[in-house]
Structure 1
């Protein structure tokens, strides 16, 4: 592996200006409203990784080309050790021998968002801020992102976190997590959909006058500081499989905003032994319709059991089109399938009854895709990506499986804390006014 010059980062909408990765991570969103991307995806050989290394070791090797020449480069190994304190185990599926589940829910908030949120927090903690001003991190969440970011930044000096979530459209336990931190964490329950929350955050980040009063950044998957570290668990799983089987590993990724899927695609683009990728969506069919041949048509999100994927206008589609500008190539590369609520219920019930495997609603969409692939005669080694612990969705899961779901200790501790959230209208002006009243220095 060799890096000729430090990578620079620019907007998906324009190749200039370009900035170092520290600047891109601190800003969250590019000045023109686009998403930051590297000038190119570096390549890396599988042999560059320590065969006996931890997930943190894999992350440090994988991400080194992205940070080369940056002030954070020397601290990258320590950042990875600090962020990846829990595993992402690959477990063989009882329902489909020869295929596996990648369990990404062993972090402090029982969801895959913990990986990226903790990495981002470790980076921002090390970056200087002008005049020691408090940095306000805006987060739009459809369920899991907000809690992961809150846990990662809780009581971190010089940082406030403002979480926007659609009131009544997250699970009760997700809502409790979002409001249970206090201190420097502020939860706002928005009278709208996730897409409203996302638009409000983007408008605030693009405001030309607000940052002078309230320095802002983002911790959604629009942030490179969230997306890049998520490549690590795909790389780690694929490398382990490749060393044992000498074949690439194929992934089925539940997705809404496309961040987790982009991480897998970028890891594959770097040369990691990753084969095919299938996207599992809920009834919000923007992506399945596009990959079936329709024009890309963002729409209002509809509420589903897999609420963290209730996205009608996925932000990372912009990064996807930047990565694969040839539309025919993109459509040939990916397939996306839509799974409705009735099927989600059936999958949760049947897999618990027949195989003793308890799934969250999001993971159930990916399991359904694997079930379909097997019925179609596809016997490739697939990995179902398990994005959240089923205990976060007990009101959906427990009636279907007929018994209580064991609650991880970290989640149980959060549920014992008091929780509260402020109401907020679904408008950019309402958020702007709230920030000026509550977060202005």
Structure 2
């Protein structure tokens, strides 16, 4: 399977190069040259397969021999070694819990798979791989834990100062070994811009072997399709086969993976893109005009993205056909007050605690259901992070109901290790060159 740049379909590379180079020099994003359609036999009998079996089938089709089958099975069994259960809250509302991995966030799927793929491709004696990653919260923790101790790799995480939760910051800054953190005096968009510029800087690319662990890397996106197929499999076991997914959306890699699964044949009835005040995509879905804007800080910090990178992939999937997009995707956005109300409503209604991102997805699903009443559609909203990662988001009553995992308790008291930098590229570049 070859992968092309969204800015130039004639520029095609093999999977290894797409993984290690992350972003083409023309600043596009890699997409599969052809998206394989999975067999009806497999799709109609998804309920007979486990999550690792589904993951292997999907990855095998997408990678088309780039990694031998037995090695790919081993990668998947090592990387996807936790559950992603669909939990019924009421009929027909279910929550897909994606926070059971090491960093307590959905990004464990992508980060763990990608780190092991990169490690498999690295040959003994090859030049060290420098992984650059911008995070608005959860990506950094997932990548840090996914790559911690992986030989011949070094990870540099850029995060916006004062705009991640305390637990998220501890997950980024207390690892040591081959993981280092940069505290950028700016927004997530500033962090992302620094990473993107590094990939197109000639001197840095001559000096380092650079790649990204953000969702701009195709190896992050592919494994995120696994949990859509697996969620559908769980619902099939309950006799449900018409599903709407409501997805908390920031950089749009999560819903982008869902759309990739749909292209591979997963029969999703509709996707809902649920955002906070950073409503670039919901506004586009309403007006047909795409206008990126500076990001604003919100309670749901991991979605504070004003110019989502992965929208280029989604536009490419639909060849920028607005009517086709709106025929499959609805967009909703909510401010912080509405988010707080949703958190309280979910707790009061179900005695269930959701993080701010998850609350937005639930609210969007409920609003969509009111506008589209149906007796045969099952709504699934994605829970992207454990609520313990956002202690300041909850009133005391709800906070007291959160069961904090032992892995989080172990972070308390650890010393933060981060280098403070401004948002100018020259300062970032100077740091990289001085700390080779």
Query: Does residue 1:358 correspond to 2:353, yes or no?
Result: yes
Aligned counterpart, 2:187 = 193
TM-score normalised by L of structure 1: 0.94
Query: Does residue 1:430 correspond to 2:434, yes or no?
Result: no
Instruction: Deviation per CA, 1:124-150: give whole Å up to 9, x if none.
Output: 111135852211100000000000000
Distance 1:353 1:243, change over 3 A: closer
Q: Structure 1: how far apart are the matches of 2:372 and 2:27?
A: 44
Aligned counterpart, 1:20 = 14
Aligned counterpart, 2:72 = 76
Residue segments in structure 2 that go unaligned for 5+ positions in a row: none
Aligned counterpart, 2:311 = 317
Distance 1:73 1:213, change over 3 A: farther
TM-score normalised by L of structure 2: 0.95
Q: Trace 1:17-96 onto structure 2 (pairs within 5 A).
A: 17-48=11-42, 51-93=47-89, 96=90
CA contact (8 A) 2:156 2:179 kept: yes
Aligned counterpart, 1:409 = 406
CA contact (8 A) 1:241 1:248 kept: no
CA contact (8 A) 1:46 1:272 kept: no
Distance 1:224 1:253, change over 3 A: same
CA contact (8 A) 1:11 1:34 kept: yes
Q: Which moved more, 1:227-236 or 1:209-218?
A: 209-218
Q: Structure 2: how far apart are the matches of 1:355 and 1:128?
A: 47
RMSD: 1.7
Q: Structure 2: how far apart are the matches of 1:401 and 1:361?
A: 12
Query: Does residue 1:308 correspond to 2:325, yes or no?
Result: no
Query: Does residue 1:270 correspond to 2:286, yes or no?
Result: no
Distance 1:246 1:395, change over 3 A: closer
Q: Structure 2: how far apart are the matches of 1:371 and 1:36?
A: 34
Q: Structure 1: how far apart are the matches of 2:103 and 2:335?
A: 26
- Cα displacement (A) at 1:430: 1.5
Q: Structure 1: how far apart are the matches of 2:159 and 2:404?
A: 23
CA contact (8 A) 2:137 2:165 kept: yes
Q: Which moved more, 1:200-209 or 1:84-93?
A: 200-209
| 1:249 aligned residue (243, 253, 256) | 243
| 1:339 aligned residue (334, 341, 344) | 334
- Cα displacement (A) at 1:314: 0.2
Q: Structure 1: how far apart are the matches of 2:267 and 2:71?
A: 27
| 2:368 aligned residue (373, 380, 403) | 373
Count of matched residue pairs: 431
CA contact (8 A) 1:280 1:366 kept: yes
- Cα displacement (A) at 1:371: 2.3
Residue segments in structure 1 that go unaligned for 5+ positions in a row: 1-6
